[in-house]
Amino acid sequence: MAMFTCPMHPNIKKEDEGICPECGMRLVPSKEKPKEFNKHEDRKTNVFKLRLLVSLIFSIPIVFYSDVAQKLIGYTAPAFPFSNYLIFLLASIVFFYGGWVFMSSAFREIKAKAPGMMTLISLAIITAYVYSVYALVMGQEKVLFWELATLITIMLLGHWIEMKAVSHSQSALKELSKLLPDKAELIKDGKTQIVLVQDLKVGDIFLVRPGGKIPADGVVVEGESEINESIVTGESKPVLKKVGDEVIAGTINGDGALKVKVTKIGENTFLAGVMRLIAEAQVSKSRLQMLSDKAAFLLTVLAVIVGTASLIVWSIIADLSFAITRMVAVLVIACPHALGLAIPLVSAISTTKAAQNGFLIKRKSALELARKIDIILFDKTGTLTKGEFGVDKIISVRPDEENLVLQYAYSVNYKSEHPIAKAIVKEAQNRGLEKIDVKDFQRLPGIGVKGKVHEKEIFVGSEVLLEKFKIEKPQEIKKIISELSSQGKTIIFVIENNNLLGAIALMDIIREEAKEAIKQIHNMGIKTAMITGDSEDVAKWVAKELGIDEYFARVMPHEKSEKVKMLQQKGLKVAMVGDGVNDAPALTQADVGIAIGAGTNVALESADIILVRNDPRDIVKIIKLSKMTYSKMIQNIFWAAGYNIVAIPSAAGVLADNGVFLDPAISALLMSASTIIVAFNAALLRTKKL
């Protein structure tokens, strides 16, 4: 049965999908390890280099004594007694020492019932070696030692280059983990003492000296300083932090000294969260990658079949040595080496590139899909607008009761986290209004709040409440309200025992970047839509201001995912952008769910891609990166596998009549060249601008 494990806590193992009890991250199938990344994990680059050097040096005399080189260049190698046995000895060293890398990995592949490239290479070199030893003992002239030695050397070279490329692309995670200092200056009883970061506890106060790194997430309790947060936000301008402001572990302090109280440690810090996401992204496979894994497997099977067939056919129509050479050449050329790298290399580079550009990719297949998006659905508040409301006007039904209207709204909303509630609380406090005790407080999601004040039932919320209580707006305020609404202002009604007390008009600010983002999205031929719990008027006004194609107003939180489904049923590929808890189901339902940074953890958990900065323009970058990544992957699959259409038949000797057949070493060269092209082509992605 498939087991599931946590990418960050491999000791956690469960029988079904779920969430890691330690960090809350989604569990992944434990078999689903990034193959190419793990393949070389336990092999130190230096040992590899030594094997490569030894094989290279020993191959030189082997080639020098080969009859092909002598014939080709036209010299006669000085003969000495048992020279062929010396060549045998050298080739054996290359085979056992250099070839060990492949044979031990092949053993692992076979044990894991996943024969692949290593199995093919091993099959090729073992066949060549066993045959040559047999030929030598039988006193036959044709041995395959030079082919064997050069093959191993070139393969080692290819792998060594690959290891360098892969370790480079994996460095993003390592770089991030390096950001955290290992020690912190704890302030205890007025004295400072150096402690290990892992010994910090929530509530501890630590000192950050000028230029120092912040060891844990916390709140400034003393001092003022500019902090470079570029690592987490991508924003290079330092941010001023004063008492009460939050600081993030891993960011770099400027010129001031700060005393910070720890709020989060270890696994719970922002940085740990980001690292978890990257680790999760690295194990998540894109669809193209699954396709290329399958292609690699098929190629292996094909190689064995064609190889065996050419061995049989050629040993009948020519001699055994020629037949074995053909088989070895086929096995080598078909090695799905480059294919195994084609997708992971591009993926690794694009994930890093995404992080550099302010977004984190949690699910790679979502990035792959982003290029096909037809419509982007935005949640209005907090995404297109700043979500920081300000009270614009208070209207009371009875004369001079504005402050009473606000006071009730304030008291009932005191415990609410909604941006509208925060604005009301702030305005009331600015006006010095007193809070009245509230009983039976209750949230009405997507509508508002209710509570008992002085034994009276007070409702504060949207127009839905008026309909619910069948309240008609009095003529004298109707006109003012409709005018304010048509200006894009959100209207909140305050109801006391089924009677309308008054209304509060609030104004949210449209993000300047949103306008630009919508324009750029339209330029890419993608449609836009907006979803909001707000009134029809406000939705219409904001949509018009931003040039959004379509809007859905007065949508209840639980209906958001229904709207996504509805668009999908029209045959559209939908991306959803949101930030709140009530966006989570819609984010999951969408083909591509994009959470906007500062939002809630729930939104982050359900999203496929996370915008670290709250900048909707980054969505355009996601689509651009998606297109770039896809075309690079397709190019790489071509470079990795396409050449086999010509190469396999040539290696098998189909064109032997015309004097065209690939030798094993030439096959190895071609195969390695394809790997290098693939690595190089992937690296080009790094230089592209988004």
Which residues would be at the binding site for ligand AMP (CB under 6 A)? 381, 413, 416, 418, 420-421, 446-449, 460-462, 490, 492, 533-534, 557
Which value, in Å, is the radius of gyration of the alpha carbons in the chain? Answer: 33
Q: Out of 204, 293, 379, 615, pick the active-site residue.
A: 379
Backbone dihedral angles phi then psi of residue 37, each to the nearest 5 degrees: -75, -35
Q: CA-to-CA distance for 551 and 531, rounded, in angstroms?
A: 6
The residue among 33 and 431 lying less far from ligand AMP, judged by its C-beta, is 431
The residue among 384 and 460 lying less far from ligand AMP, judged by its C-beta, is 460
Nearest distance from residue 532's CB to ligand AMP, in Å?
A: 6
Nearest distance from residue 462's CB to ligand AMP, in Å?
A: 3
- For residue 57, the Cα-to-chain-centroid distance in whole angstroms is 42
Mode of pairing for the β-strands spanning 191-196 and 490-496: unpaired
Residues 6+ apart with CB under 8 A from 527: 374, 375, 376, 549, 550, 572
DSSP conformation class of 237: S
The residue among 212 and 580 lying less far from ligand AMP, judged by its C-beta, is 580
Closest residue to ligand AMP, based on beta-carbon distance: 533
Type of residue numbered 95: F
Mode of pairing for the β-strands spanning 205-208 and 252-253: unpaired
Nearest distance from residue 442's CB to ligand AMP, in Å?
A: 11
Type of residue numbered 78: P
Nearest distance from residue 421's CB to ligand AMP, in Å?
A: 4
Q: CA-to-CA distance for 473 and 479, rounded, in angstroms?
A: 9
Nearest distance from residue 472's CB to ligand AMP, in Å?
A: 19
The residue among 361 and 449 lying less far from ligand AMP, judged by its C-beta, is 449
Q: 385 near 534, Cβ under 8 Å?
A: no
DSSP labels, 487-539? TT-EEEEEEETTEEEEEEEEEPPBPHHHHHHHHHHHHTT-EEEEE-SS-HHHH
Quote the tokens at residue 445: 């999601």
Q: Which of 122, 73, 144 is nearest to 663 (CA)?
A: 144
Residues 6+ apart with CB under 8 A from 10: none
Q: Which of 365, 278, 275, 280 is nearest to 28 (CA)?
A: 280
- 42 in active site: no
The residue among 227 and 538 lying less far from ligand AMP, judged by its C-beta, is 538
Nearest distance from residue 265's CB to ligand AMP, in Å?
A: 32
The residue among 409 and 677 lying less far from ligand AMP, judged by its C-beta, is 409
Nearest distance from residue 440's CB to ligand AMP, in Å?
A: 15
The residue among 269 and 462 lying less far from ligand AMP, judged by its C-beta, is 462
The residue among 116 and 593 lying less far from ligand AMP, judged by its C-beta, is 593
Q: If 0-12 CB within 10 Å is exposed, 13-18 middle and 19+ buried, where does residue 630 land?
A: buried
Q: Which of 550, 525, 528, 526 is nearest to 539 (CA)?
A: 550
The residue among 177 and 442 lying less far from ligand AMP, judged by its C-beta, is 442
Neighbours of 654 (CB within 10 A): 16
The residue among 99 and 446 lying less far from ligand AMP, judged by its C-beta, is 446
Sign of the CA dihedral with 141 first, then 142, 148, and 150 last: positive
Quote the tokens at residue 243: 């008492």
Nearest distance from residue 416's CB to ligand AMP, in Å?
A: 4
Alpha helix locations (H) across 397-462?
Answer: 402-413, 419-430
Q: Decide: helix, strand or coil at residue 625.
A: helix
Quote the tokens at residue 372: 């096909």
Angle ∠(171,173,178) on CA atoms, nearest 5: 90
Type of residue numbered 48: F
Nearest distance from residue 612's CB to ligand AMP, in Å?
A: 23
Classify each residue of 161-179 as buried b or exposed e, where b means 16 or more C-beta atoms within 10 Å of its C-beta: ebbebbebbbebbeebeeb
The residue among 382 and 649 lying less far from ligand AMP, judged by its C-beta, is 382
DSSP conformation class of 591: S
DSSP labels, 145-195? HHHHHHHHHHHHHHHHHHHHHHHHHTHHHHHHHHTS-SEEEEEETTEEEEE
Nearest distance from residue 458's CB to ligand AMP, in Å?
A: 11
DSSP labels, 60-82? HHHHHT-HHHHHHHT--PPP-TT
Nearest distance from residue 278's CB to ligand AMP, in Å?
A: 31
**Active-site residue numbers?**
379
